[in-house]
Each structure stands twice: as C-alpha cells, then as structure tokens.
C-alpha cells in the first residue's frame, strides 16, 4: 500500500522527542508554567476559593506530577492530590515526597507535602488540618472538587472543613484545559505519531491466523519502545463477528481472512494521549462485499463531514449531527483530548453544546455496522484552527473498502 503525505491540512510532525541543542522543540518549563497560570486564572474568574484535584489528570495538568496511570489512579487519594487556593500557589500532596522534591524543581519544597495517604475517610481530618494551615481563609469559602468522590469521603471533608461549601469544580478546571497551548499541541502531535507507529507495527503483523491479542501486543510493544507512559484505555483489537455488534475488547479470537478488523488504540507522551481508530480488511481483497464497502463509506464520510464542521463559530452539536448516521446504532461518538484522553469539549446529545474555538483538540469517531456483514469504526484527532481544521491523524484508510475518497483526506490513495 502506498503511503501518501502532504498538503496544508495534514499534520506534519517536524520535531523529535528528545531534548536537543540544535533546534527549538517542546519547552516543558513553558508547558508547566502556562498550564498552572491557566488553572490559576480559571480559579480567579470563578467563585471558588480553592480547588481540590483528586484526578491524576488534573494534578498532572496543574503541577506536572507523574504518578501511577494504571488502575491505582482510580483509588481515591491513593497517589496524589493537589490543593489550588485562590490566593496562593498549588500544593502537591503525594506518596512520592522525596522523589517529587528532588525532581520537581519548579515547585518549592514547602508546596510538596506527604499525601497522608487518603485511602480511608478516617485519614481526612489530619490532612485537612494541614491544608487549612497552609491556605488560611481560602479553606473557608466555596471549594471545588474535580471528580465524583465516595459519599464517606465527602462527609469527612464537610466535617473537616466546617466553614467551607463543597461544590463541583470540574467546570472550572475544564475551562482552563479546553484551549490548548502551543506546547500542549506539540505534545499531542507526538502522542499521535507514536500511536500511528504502533498501529503500523500492528498492521505489519496482522495476517490470517494470528489472534486479536497478538496484534495488540505489537502495538503496545512499539508504544513502550517509543517512550509511551501508558495507553489511553485497555485498547481494542476486535475482528469479524465481534465488529457488529461492536464488542469493545481485545480477545484471543483468531483473525481470519476476509475479516474486518477494528483497531482503536492510543499512546501517551508526557501525559498527552493519542487516540484513533482504523478498520482494515485482513488478507486478500476477495472477501470484500458491496455491503462492507457501503458501511465503510458511511463511517468514512461521516468522519470527514464532521471534521469539516470543526471550525470556529460552529458548535459540538454540528459535529454530532454528522456522525449520527443510519447504521451507527448510537455508537458514534466524539470527545476532547489532552492530559485526559476524554476531556471537554463534551460532544454528545443531551449535554450543553459548546462553541468551537481555535486550539481545541477533538477526537471524532463514527461507527457503522450490520450484524452478519461487519462493523466499521474510524477515528481522527483534529485541532480546531482559525480556518480549516488540522488533521493530526495521518495514517491512510483502507482504500479497498472505499467507493471514493473525501476532499479533506490527503493521505489515502484513490480506490
């Protein structure tokens, strides 16, 4: 298959991953400073006196702290918590006290404290006393929390901060994160490039007779070799009858010739998450049917029609209208991306629509499928610009399954 590149709309990854002295690459110091300032400005513009972040993604955004990205990240207070007061600097509470103080030179040692290990609500009062001592009157106002927490912890917080009112603070931190900085966009492009490389390695391995899990292992192997911190979810390689109805797991099923194979994966580069999907036919062209091609074209056209709507002045609802197609079964979706692989702008029916603005990063992933025929999911990451959207995902689609290419697609050969 010929791999095409070029065109103003296609993202060109012009920088490497390593720090060098011979060209300007990512300035991580600038990245951290700008994110912190955006978070502080969001607090200043809100009615909050402080924000407590229990999400590892938000703690990473505000402080640059990297913790465990696996299942442990979902245990409340298990790794790190950030307190962002209106009238002060962020305070990082972490298990990794000595490592953080030694390596995170951009934060004063006094603003890096032991987490007190909030694995039980009974430990909240001692932690709360330290917080109140450090942030003063900011502990007596309206305090935002960035994620849903167990009721037992919420009650413990209310008892420990009797002069505070606890409210949902996700909107405040999301306002800070929604528009990306130039350094964030550089990180996102590299995350997408690593994801594309992993997909390429998986495609080289995919052939009739190998298992879904073996194909995914090749992608993971490449991710890790290129420095990926984790993957944006368990990742998905699903094939044949598992594509319709769409089963979003990777199993030990043996992939057969003529199977449609959906690969939905994403690598992580310095906290930023690649996430994109392609569907390819396994083996020779002989197993392709017109129904397969119709479904592929439906998903493909929905993707690029939705991308064309990702311009300033339009809203998230304009994107949703394009991806809700005849055979989507409600499985088409879209979402923002950044230090969290699924962050605002929220793009779904039933939620408040958001006006699109330059430097928002968005994933668009329509699905079309029919049991007995197969399912097709396709996904690109894009950046909203002042003009036409910039497509970060550059790997071509399977032209064997297309009737025709879209004008916005500059990487796929004509069928």
Token digits of residue 400: 């064997």
Q: 132: buried, middle or exposed (CB in 10 Å: 19+, 13-18, 0-12)?
A: middle
* pLDDT over 90 (residue 80): no
Mean pLDDT confidence for 237-262: 96
pLDDT at 379: 97
Element at 185 (helix H, strand E): helix 182-205
Domain 28-177, what architecture? 3-Layer(aba) Sandwich (3.40)
Show me where the domains of the chain are located. Answer: 28-177, 182-401
Distance CA 138, CA 179 (A): 27
Distance CA 304, CA 405 (A): 10
* pLDDT over 60 (residue 141): yes
* Contact status, residue 222 vs residue 197, Cβ threshold 8 Å: yes
* pLDDT over 60 (residue 163): yes
Strand stretches in 32-164, DSSP E: 50-53, 80-85, 91-94, 112-114, 142-145
When pLDDT is cut at 50, 70 and 90, the band that residue 386 belongs to is very high
Supply the CATH classification number for the domain 182-401.
3.90.230.10
Characterise 289 by phi-psi region: left (phi > 0), alpha (psi -120 to 50), beta (else). beta
Give backbone dihedrals phi and psi of 409, rounded to 5 degrees, phi first.
-90, 110
pLDDT at 1: 32
- DSSP, collapsed to helix, strand or coil, labels residue 383 as strand
Mean pLDDT confidence for 326-337: 92
* pLDDT over 80 (residue 36): yes
Beta bridge partners of 1: none
Token digits of residue 248: 């979003």
When pLDDT is cut at 50, 70 and 90, the band that residue 68 belongs to is confident
Task: Provide the residue count of the chain.
Answer: 415
Distance CA 149, CA 145 (A): 8
Q: Please give the angle made by the CA atoms of 250, 251 and 252, to the nearest 5 degrees.
A: 140
pLDDT at 76: 60
> pLDDT of 82-130, one tens digit each?
999 999 999 999 989 999 999 999 999 999 999 866 778 888 999 999 9
> pLDDT of 269-305, one tens digit each?
999 999 989 999 999 877 899 999 999 999 999 999 9
Mean pLDDT confidence for 127-136: 96
pTM: 0.93
When pLDDT is cut at 50, 70 and 90, the band that residue 9 belongs to is very low
Token digits of residue 388: 């036409």
Token digits of residue 34: 């700008």
Distance CA 381, CA 361 (A): 7
């Amino acid at each position: 298959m010929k791999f095409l590149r070029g065109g103003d709309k296609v993202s060109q990854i012009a920088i490497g991953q390593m720090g060098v002295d011979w060209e300007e690459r990512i300035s991580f110091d600038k990245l951290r400073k700008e994110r912190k300032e955006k978070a502080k400005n969001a607090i200043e513009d809100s009615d909050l006196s402080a924000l407590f972040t229990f999400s590892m993604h938000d703690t990473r955004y505000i402080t640059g702290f990297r913790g465990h990205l696996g299942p442990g990240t979902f245990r409340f207070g298990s790794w790190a918590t950030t307190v962002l007061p209106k009238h002060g600097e962020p305070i990082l509470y972490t298990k990794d006290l000595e490592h953080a103080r030694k390596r995170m030179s951009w934060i004063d040692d006094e603003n890096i404290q032991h987490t007190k290990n909030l694995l039980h609500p009974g430990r909240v009062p001692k932690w709360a006393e330290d917080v109140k001592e450090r942030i003063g009157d900011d502990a007596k106002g309206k305090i935002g929390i960035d994620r849903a927490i167990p009721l037992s912890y919420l009650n413990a917080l209310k008892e420990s901060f009797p002069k505070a009112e606890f409210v949902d603070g996700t909107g405040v931190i999301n306002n800070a994160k929604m528009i990306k900085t130039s350094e964030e966009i550089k990180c996102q492009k590299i995350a997408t490039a690593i994801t594309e490389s992993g997909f390429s390695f998986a495609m080289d391995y995919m052939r009739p007779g190998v298992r879904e899990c073996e194909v995914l292992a090749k992608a993971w192997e490449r991710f890790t070799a290129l420095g990926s911190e984790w993957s944006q979810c368990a990742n998905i390689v699903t094939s044949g009858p598992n594509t319709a109805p769409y089963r979003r797991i990777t199993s030990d099923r043996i992939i057969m010739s003529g199977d449609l194979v959906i690969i939905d994966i994403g690598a992580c580069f310095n906290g930023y998450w690649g996430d994109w999907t392609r569907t390819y036919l396994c083996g020779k062209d002989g197993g392709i049917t017109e129904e397969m091609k119709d479904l592929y074209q439906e998903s493909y056209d929905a993707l690029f029609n939705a991308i064309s709507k990702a311009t300033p002045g339009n809203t998230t609802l304009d994107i949703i209208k394009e991806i809700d197609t005849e055979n989507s079964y409600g499985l088409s979706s879209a979402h923002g991306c950044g230090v969290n692989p699924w962050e605002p702008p929220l793009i779904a029916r039933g939620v408040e629509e958001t006006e699109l603005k330059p430097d928002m990063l968005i994933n668009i992933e329509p699905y079309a499928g029919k049991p007995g025929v197969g399912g097709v999911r396709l996904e690109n990451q894009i950046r909203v610009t002042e003009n036409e959207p910039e497509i970060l995902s550059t790997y071509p689609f399977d032209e064997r399954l297309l009737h025709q290419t879209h004008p916005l697609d500059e990487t796929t050969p004509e069928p």
